[in-house]
Amino acid sequence: MSATLKDIARESGLNPSTVSRALSGGYGVHEKTREKVLAIAEKLNYHPNLIARGLVTGRSHTIGLLISDIRNPYFADLVRGAEDAAYASGFDIVLCNSDLDPVKQMKYFRSLREKRVSGILTSSVAALNRSEIDELDSYGIPIVVFDETRRTRHLSTVLADNFQGGGLAGKYLMGLGHSVIAHLTGPREMGNLAQRCAGFLKALKTSSNGVTPIVMRGLHTYHGGYEMAKKLFSRHPSVTAIFAANDVTAFGVLQAVLETGMSVPGDISLIGFDNVQLAGITHPPLTTVEQPKYEMGQAAIEILLSQSKEHGERVPEHRRFGVRLIERKSCRAI
């Protein structure tokens, strides 16, 4: 089928190893023979077999990227940042969607490992348990996980300052005069959400006037936001402000508010988290806490790449990104 290095060796009367050098390095090869090799390669329509090369060098130049669902715009930004950075360094990204399913997740991890990827990036999907973390550690490749607040011996992390972000949201809402404020969030195990919640609660606690925080847990998805909001309105009709764990959840809340015949920000002030692409064009445009998703994706690749160069014991790296409040039209003073 495709021409091989041997073919061009035969054709040129050179030795395969010389051809190899001419093609990849360029060093230690006479310019004349190099040109000759290149010409023949062109003529034979030769294209290196990267998987053969990978076998001998041990480098696949491929990075696994495991998230819950690419349709969540938060991940789209993250992935794009990672892909761009990887591309710039000559690496490919294999994309895996786990849907937060612990079984699927481990299947993907194992499959990536068998493909001998250079490293793995993962959002902290279904919370990893001890033995799973140990398994990942045993892979001997750099792994960086997003939004993971715990520290382990080998895993690197990149995350936003969720605690601060939660505080920003809480303070903002209080500053607007709200006193019955709800926080709609996801499962307890998600460390990043827990941090947002903690920061939020802390902010409310430091206020002079008596604010009543209501915390509800469900799924941090569009649907989850919708459900939680409905429940909230029936149980606590006096709420005037909601801090949603992320924008997509906030979108669900928005939907519920509209269906209930209320309005944002007329009856309910709403604030999200992430500053997802479409947050600016909902009605009303969503006030939210921005985290630099694209940059976080990039950073993860940088860490990964720098670690894969190191030998011996790898020291994990941890990077935390600042957040900021994006004020739009979904909150009002009371």
Partner DNA sequence: CTGAAAGCGCTAACAG
Partner DNA sequence: CTGTTAGCGCTTTCAG
Give contact residues for a copy of itself (rule: CB under 8 A): 1-2, 45, 47-52, 54-55, 60, 62, 65, 69-71, 73, 76-77, 79-80, 83-84, 87, 92-97, 110-111, 113-116, 138, 140, 251, 254-255, 277-278, 280-284
> Binds 79, which of a copy of itself, DNA, none (CB < 5 to 8 A, cut-off by type)?
a copy of itself
Among 53, 61, 217, 314, binds DNA (CB under 7 A): 53
For residue 265, give every residue at least 6 positions away whose Cβ sits within 8 Å of its Cβ, in sequence order, or none.
Answer: 284, 329, 330, 331, 332
Q: How far apart are CA 77 and CA 83, in angstroms?
A: 10
143 vs 168, which CB is nearer to a copy of itself?
143
Q: Which of 52-60, 129-137, 238-246, 315-323 is the region at the interface with DNA (rule: CB under 7 A)?
A: 52-60
Distance in Å from the first CA to the final CA of the chain? 73
Is the bond preceding 285 in cis, omega lying within 30 degrees of 0? Answer: no
Q: How far apart are CA 34 and CA 49, in angstroms?
A: 19
125, 105 contact by CB (below 8 A): yes
Angle at 73 between CA 188 and CA 139, to 5 degrees: 65
Q: Which of residues 204-233 bind DNA (CB under 7 A)?
A: none
CB of residue 197 to a copy of itself, shortest distance in Å = 24
Using the 8-state DSSP alphabet, how is residue 238 labeled? T
Q: How far apart are CA 65 and CA 63, in angstroms?
A: 6
Among 11, 48, 73, 198, binds DNA (CB under 7 A): 48
Torsion of CA 135, 99, 67, 224, to 10 degrees: -120
Q: Which of 41-49, 67-75, 156-164, 184-192 is the region at the interface with DNA (rule: CB under 7 A)?
A: 41-49
Q: Which of 48-56, 133-141, 175-183, 211-219 is the region at the interface with DNA (rule: CB under 7 A)?
A: 48-56
Q: Which of 45-53, 93-101, 157-165, 191-199 is the region at the interface with DNA (rule: CB under 7 A)?
A: 45-53
> Binds 14, which of a copy of itself, DNA, none (CB < 5 to 8 A, cut-off by type)?
DNA
CB of residue 171 to DNA, shortest distance in Å = 56
Q: Which of 46-54, 175-183, 189-197, 213-221 is the region at the interface with DNA (rule: CB under 7 A)?
A: 46-54
**Beta strands 287-290; 324-326: pairing state:** antiparallel
Write phi, then psi, for 329 (nearest 5 degrees): -120, 15
2 vs 306, which CB is nearer to a copy of itself?
2
Q: How far apart are CA 200 and CA 209, in angstroms?
A: 16
CA 163 to chain centre: 18
> Binds 103, which of DNA, a copy of itself, none (CB < 5 to 8 A, cut-off by type)?
none
For residue 276, give every residue at least 6 positions away whose Cβ sits within 8 Å of its Cβ, in sequence order, or none.
Answer: 73, 74, 77, 246, 247, 248, 288
CB of residue 170 to a copy of itself, shortest distance in Å = 25
Residue count, binding to DNA (CB under 7 A): 30
Nearest to 54 by CA among 118, 5, 6: 118
Q: Which of 31-39, 69-77, 195-203, 263-271 is the region at the interface with DNA (rule: CB under 7 A)?
A: 31-39
Binding site for DNA (CB under 7 A): 1-2, 4-6, 13-18, 20-21, 23-24, 27-30, 32-34, 46, 48-49, 52-53, 55-57
